Chain A
């Protein structure tokens, strides 16, 4: 701490000196501006004089005779003026020509004045920055350090294996292995052992976990948007986000929204708990270099993430995004109509899938990824392009009901989910709950008793396929498993 204090003092000294230097330049500019203004005023007076001079043939004046005496005299040849052109060159001109020359010069002076004013403004800005920097390093001022403790969460049982941290702007590979679901299908839902066996609760937990990952991404988007709105550089804000913890330097203005997601929690994402609360932080004056705000995550599995496949998708990510967009927009005073434009912005690979959708029956249907093999179409695959609108709606509602269900589990609820809740249809849910709750849409004529997987338009289309692989009770899961085993599932199988 002492060392830090020392370096702070050094920084402080340096910053102070910087500010002083800037200040000097600013003062210099000011004096130059004064000078040029005076010159300009002189030329204007001269201009006036030249205009009025030829009015009379001669004037009666008091001629200065040395420094102390005057003598009455006459000013004649009022139209003839000898002008200094510069560098000891003179020219005899008429008053009008002289006026033209004066105009020229005034223009020149004006441009000089503009240049100097610009420089001065520039340096004034720099002085401001230096001042801010100074105040920051002196632990004063309104800049605060936002820190989040990465604790070892007390919650037992990491569900599934530890996750690798993803690169922050890439879409995390949601290869959640839900293969165990196939085995659990016979089991009942709500409670189960926490280790290895994927019960429904774990399922939800996993869902939340993955949901959180996408939340992180959304947060990034939001943050970068916020950064944009704050007039900051998006890249700088996103690069800031990529730091594990924030560094004090850049003036990161504390508005209620610009919090950095704690990246280190991503690998611990096995805990389904973490939910960022935007307004929920405590401000602490830390003994360290900056006043620090510590905030902690609140436990809240909230959104419905029906994760049912190797490719998890945030189920209502589109919804969520819309809501977040609209929230963001509202906060910035725009109408919700603009959220549409937000949606068209591509920041992550997921956005591509979200945007490039086929619209069928008035509903956007995600396109299949060209990288995915078609072989699964013959099996229990869903036909993403042919799902009916009704089915889609149904699935959506189911998803929503899931979300509602989720909320009932959670301690706190996020504002966004709550927006979802009104549309919940809780009644549907319980009856449909099975080990995997989702709807499967399949090409093959399957009995409608098979629960339908929910399609999320913004989701990767392949999710559907994968969901179906793992879900359908009618479909022999073991057949599917060998074909496509995600690493999570594989790991779990190995663990077993």
Chain B
């Protein structure tokens, strides 16, 4: 009886750790996105300050490719939107993972209690 509970407990613990990992992953991804968003904001501002006399380049690999100013602005704006969307997605994911981890924690505690009861019983029995 106790052994069965222990096995269950182990399985639950594994699941819980998995969920925790997912949580941390999504958190770090979200952080990256945050920094990217900040950077793109700065770029957008700078591009707004420039006028058409300056040429804009984009670094693609080792190559600096000439870009149109308006094109560049549009591209940066699109990228910014994309990043925002990604952030939202990751936030919802994070919430889900959080909930899951809570549930699993509860399961774990109940299992632990069962285990303790069982263990408490068995010495008595013996």
Interface residues of A, Cβ cutoff 8 Å to B: 82-83, 85-93, 97, 100-101, 104, 108
Contacts and interface: CB of A to CB of B under 8 A. Distances in A.
Interface in B26-74: 36, 39-40, 42-43, 45-47, 49-50, 54-60, 64, 67, 72
Contact of B57 (A89, A100, A104): A89
B59 A88 contact: yes
Nearest to B55: A92
Given A86-B39, A97-B54, A91 B47 contact: yes
B18 to A, nearest CB: 28
B76 A89 contact: yes
Interface residues of B, number: 22
A467 B14 CA distance: 82
Given A93-B50, A101-B46, A87 B39 contact: yes
B76 A91 contact: no
A104 B50 CA distance: 13
A108 B45 CA distance: 13
The main secondary structure of chain B at its interface with chain A is helix
Contacts of A85: 42-43, 46-47
Given A88-B60, A97-B54, A108-B42, 20 more contacts: A82-B57, A83-B46, A85-B46, A86-B40, A86-B42, A87-B76, A89-B59, A89-B67, A90-B56, A90-B58, A90-B59, A90-B64, A91-B46, A91-B47, A92-B54, A92-B55, A92-B56, A93-B54, A97-B49, A101-B49
Contacts of A91: 46-47, 50, 54-57
A90 B42 CA distance: 13
Given A100-B49, A101-B46, A88 B58 contact: yes
Interface of B: 36, 39-40, 42-43, 45-47, 49-50, 54-60, 64, 67, 72, 76, 79
A82 B64 CA distance: 11
Contacts of B47: 85, 89, 91
Nearest to B51: A97
A93 B67 CA distance: 14
A92 B57 contact: yes
Contacts of A93: 50, 54
Contacts of B59: 88-90
B42 to A, nearest CB: 5
A86 B46 contact: yes
22 contacts: A83-B46, A85-B46, A85-B47, A86-B43, A87-B36, A87-B40, A89-B59, A89-B76, A90-B56, A90-B57, A91-B50, A91-B54, A91-B56, A91-B57, A92-B54, A92-B55, A92-B57, A97-B50, A100-B49, A101-B46, A101-B49, A108-B42
